[in-house]
Chain A
Amino acid sequence: MKRWQKVLSGSLMVALAATATAACSGSKDGGSSGKKVTLTLLSHYNGTNEAALKPYIDKWNSENPNIQVKMTPVDFGELLKTIMTKQSAGQVADIMHVYTLWGGQLAKNNVLAEAPQSVADDVAQNYPEAAVKGASLNGKVFGYPTEVQAYGLFYNKKLLKEAGYDAPPKTWDELLEMSKKIEKKDSSGKVLVQGFGFQRGYAGLVDQPFMAMMAAAGSGLLSDDLSKSNLDSDAGRKTMDFYSKVYGKNGITDIAFNTTKGFGAGQVGMTIGAGWWDGSLKTLMKDAYADVGEAPMPTPDGGAGGTMAYTWAYGVNSKSKHQEEAWKFLQWMNAQADDSGMTPEGQFLLDTFNVIPSRKTDLSSAKVQEKLQSNPSAKLFADALNNALDEQSPAAGTEVQDILYKQIESMWTDQIQADAALNNAHTQINAKLGEK
């Protein structure tokens, strides 16, 4: 600490201490009293997802009276802020379910503990490469990958058929052409049926399909060493060009139309989405769900191409006083199969999101094999993981995504041209990456 820092912090705290009148102590968990430990688990599983996860936690709690786990659900949009503020305030959550894009920022502030050797080995052996990468920081595993989700094309079979198509598009040009045919507007120009639209609402929802399309065109958003943006590559230019053709002046459809909502109402031909969306469409659409079809990401030329997969992972807080107990719980949750041959996490993922767990031992279980046979959607997204790039997570990950998001939105709303959006995003991301 430098001298002025000491003076500043010291005088600040002394001033506070001198003026502190109310010395009442808040509620403090007696962690070390007796043997019983309560672990807090911070995750973005709220609402119905929280309810689905609860039985597993309850089961652990009844089997392990000395290590109780307490869930703290936070909406996705607030989770990073919550992790950061909790950490700086000392309200440490022992176990955290983190989105790996935040990895760099969390590593910079030393939030996550390194995994014990046994866990690291288990993860390295049992998960696909994109997932292992996602659950690692600076090459070291920090926890168990959970949701590993790839992006693909969602389409409405009925609308495609009405426009005379039996199969989803393979190339980007086909996609645009088909969507023009599917699109229906009334006399006032209001969209009745959208041919193709991107979902919107927050940075990730716009950026992740962008990265998935860039991956389909053969490149990650950033260079492998995370030092610069690849937006000026051929793949980056093609993707931005495609994006500029969807909304805005030159767009095939109207940005006012809510694609997320419209798809659920059977009024959207095609969009890009991640595997988990299938589960929530099923809940929302009921019988109409039969019209939903899914396909791999189209590529610029129709050849083989990749997609992007993002990862969530359970990690343990480096400031937790009960790290040993926390790992014990995580091992049970993620690595210990029950009679059915599946881990609790695997069952949760399968039942809640209709998603094939990425852990190899779960994959070989009878229930998952049966699902792969019977459910094309689950198989499609599980296969997609094999040629998926991971979502890169530099220390300024959220800021990088925010830059790209704002430039795309500005382009879609005709504030700037596609070239300018690409150049702005490229230079601003490079500046951000160079700074840290």
Chain B
Amino acid sequence: MRSNRAPWYFYVIIIVGSVMMVFPFLDMIFSSFKSASEYALLNYTLLPKQFIFDNYRMAVEQLQLLLLFKNSLIRSISITLLVLFTSSLAGYVLAKLRFPGKQVVFRFILSTMMFPAFLFFIPNYFITVHFPLVGGNDILGQGGEGGLAASVLGLIVPFSVSGFGIFLMRQFMISIEDAYLEAARIDGAKELRIFFQIVLPMTAPALATLAIFEFINSWNEFIWALLMNSVNSELATLPVGIQMLKSALDPTLTQPLVMAGLVIATIPILLLFIFLQKYYVRGMMNAGLK
């Protein structure tokens, strides 16, 4: 095997590199067990003198963990499902159907990936809170209590389509043999049935990749969630809730507490990734190869 050929110094370099990757995570975990007064001491130690669980107790007390987890989960799951749906539909059309304007639409979707997100930040905020007929708004988007942001929709809807997702699905679907589809068409299957019964099952690996990608990204997304949280505090997600643990007025009292919160927020997603990384990596590599 090729792997036997790696000389020892390859291992040295990679192990040193890995330590640099992992160390901040260890620091986070150990700091979360330090007491505030130990944290205030002026010499660094990795291990706490005493392992104290108070920070976790306080984090659980001060964070509305149930609400945060609920919001983060609802948000990530909904965005993932919506993106899978919209991306595979559009990807299928762009890969397998012939119609006028196809090139224009494809170019357009590619170009959306080049628009920087901050360009839409202000207008999308405005549109979200003044979305008509939602959250008490009238047909002109006025008079309500936050439009989409009155409910968890504000965290979800602006992320329900992904240009990258469409691109990924199209690339994958192009490689599906036309013969399968033609055969189904001859059988008289309706296009929707072809899509659901033939195309989707064949694209399962790409869907899995996209699902992991979207789930992790929407779990970790911070800026938009922060903004939605300031409109409506019922919409706090985990990263936002933990950032709020930090007290701008008196940071000395809260640092280890924040670390405990961060451990609570990051460990589940790290575990999820480690379990599913095979599917993710494989899909991303295939996408990258194209």
Contact = CB atoms under 8 A, between A and B. Distances in A.
A50 to B, nearest CB: 8
Interface string B112-138: 000000000000010101111111110
Interface stretch (A84-92, A388-396, A419-427): A84-92
Contacts of B41: 265
Contact of A75 (B127, B151, B157, B247): B247
Nearest to B127: A16
Given A16-B132, A86-B230, A286 B153 contact: no
A46 B42 CA distance: 27
B150 interface: yes
B136 to A, nearest CB: 5
A25 B252 CA distance: 43
B227 interface: yes
A285 B245 CA distance: 21
Contacts of A27: 150-151, 234
A75 B244 contact: yes
Given A26-B135, A47-B245, A74-B244, A91 B227 contact: no
A91 B150 contact: yes
A280 B247 CA distance: 12
Interface string A188-224: 0000100000000110000000000000000000000
Interface string B231-249: 1111000000000111111
Contact of A81 (B130, B149, B230): B230
Given A76-B247, A85-B227, A264 B139 contact: no
B65 to A, nearest CB: 14
Contacts of B151: 24, 26-27
Interface size class of B (residues with CB under 8 A): 35 or more
Interface stretch (B21-29, B87-95, B140-148): B140-148
A107 interface: no
B50 interface: no
A261 B39 CA distance: 9
B250 A280 contact: yes
Contacts of A202: 248
Contacts of A17: 132-133, 139-141
Interface in B29-64: 36-37, 40-42, 61-62
Interface in A21-57: 22-29, 44, 46-47, 50-51
A162 interface: no
A138 interface: no
Contact of B134 (A23, A82, A88): A23
B145 A77 contact: no
A46 B247 contact: yes
Contact of B150 (A23, A28, A280): A28
B77 interface: no
A63 B146 CA distance: 31
Nearest to B39: A261
B203 interface: no
Given A17-B132, A261-B40, A284-B40, A91 B149 contact: yes
A283 interface: yes
A84 B157 CA distance: 23
Interface in A71-115: 72, 74-78, 81-82, 85-86, 88-92
A74 B233 contact: yes
B85 to A, nearest CB: 14
Contacts of A44: 249
Interface in A250-274: 260-262, 264-265, 267
A284 B247 contact: no
Given A46-B247, A75-B248, A91 B146 contact: yes
A90 B230 contact: no
B131 A260 contact: no
Given A89-B129, A90-B145, A283 B134 contact: no
Interface in B216-274: 226-227, 230-234, 244-254
A284 B146 contact: no
Given A25-B134, A89-B147, A78 B230 contact: yes
Contact of A91 (B131, B145, B153): B145
Contacts of A75: 244, 246-248
A13 B252 contact: no
A20 interface: yes
Contact of A47 (B40, B157, B254): B254
Contacts of A264: 37, 40, 252
Contacts of B249: 44, 76
Nearest to A190: B42
Nearest to B61: A51
A91 B42 contact: no
Contacts of A23: 133-134
Contacts of A22: 134, 153, 157
B131 A47 contact: no
A53 B148 CA distance: 31
B230 A82 contact: yes
Contacts of B233: 72, 74, 82
Given A26-B151, A90-B144, A260 B251 contact: yes
Residue of B132, B135, B234, B250 with most partner-chain A CB within 10 A: B250
9 contacts: A13-B141, A16-B131, A20-B131, A27-B151, A86-B232, A90-B143, A261-B40, A261-B252, A265-B37
Given A13-B139, A28-B136, A264-B37, 19 more contacts: A25-B133, A25-B134, A25-B135, A26-B136, A26-B146, A26-B151, A28-B145, A47-B62, A82-B230, A85-B227, A86-B230, A88-B129, A89-B130, A89-B145, A90-B137, A92-B145, A261-B40, A264-B252, A277-B250
Interface of A: 13, 16-17, 20, 22-29, 44, 46-47, 50-51, 72, 74-78, 81-82, 85-86, 88-92, 192, 201-202, 260-262, 264-265, 267, 277, 280, 283-286
The 5 closest A-B pairs by CB, nearest first: A26-B150, A26-B151, A77-B248, A89-B129, A26-B135
